[in-house]
């Protein structure tokens, strides 16, 4: 399973990206990400979860998950992301930041 993550926008307009191959990650992190995807019922989320009203300085997130059986992408924002997706967004942001500094 692979996850491609992108966070754009915000006050500074900075782009944060990460590519995570769960089969090559630390087992604890891999298990956590799989659980967060399951908790969010990621496969069943719509491809776009965005607010009709523009929100200044918000982050926009794109998450693409690819497995041998399926692939799915979701685009969402800070204010439009459902609560069950928030922990996944936070974890992927943290992992992408740590990946960027390596």
In this predicted model, what pLDDT tens digit does every residue of 38-47 receive, in sequence order? 999 999 999 9
Distance CA 6, CA 47 (A): 15
Taking the mean position of all CA atoms in its chain, how far away is CA 27?
19
The number of folded domains in the chain is 1
- How far is CA 73 from each of CA 30, 39, 42, 64, 68, rounded to the nearest angstrom? 19, 16, 9, 4, 15
For 40, residues 6+ apart whose C-beta sits below 8 A from its C-beta are 82, 84, 85, 87, 88
Distance CA 67, CA 80 (A): 26
- pTM metric for this prediction: 0.90
Count Cα atoms within 13 angstroms, Cβ side, for 12: 4
Domain that holds residue 71: 2-100
Residue 25 backbone phi and psi in degrees, to 5: -90, 165
In this predicted model, what pLDDT tens digit does every residue of 30-84 receive, in sequence order? 999 999 999 999 999 999 998 777 777 889 999 999 999 999 999 999 889 999 9
């Amino acid at each position: 399973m692979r996850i491609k993550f992108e966070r754009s926008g915000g006050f500074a307009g900075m782009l944060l990206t990460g590519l995570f191959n769960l089969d090559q990650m630390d087992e604890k992190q891999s298990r956590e990400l799989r659980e967060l995807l399951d908790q969010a019922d990621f496969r069943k989320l719509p491809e776009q979860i965005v607010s009709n009203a523009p929100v200044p300085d918000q982050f926009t997130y794109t998450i693409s998950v690819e497995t041998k059986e399926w692939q799915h992408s979701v685009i969402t924002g800070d204010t439009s992301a459902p609560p069950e997706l928030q922990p996944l967004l936070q974890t992927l942001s943290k992992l992408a930041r740590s990946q960027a500094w390596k």
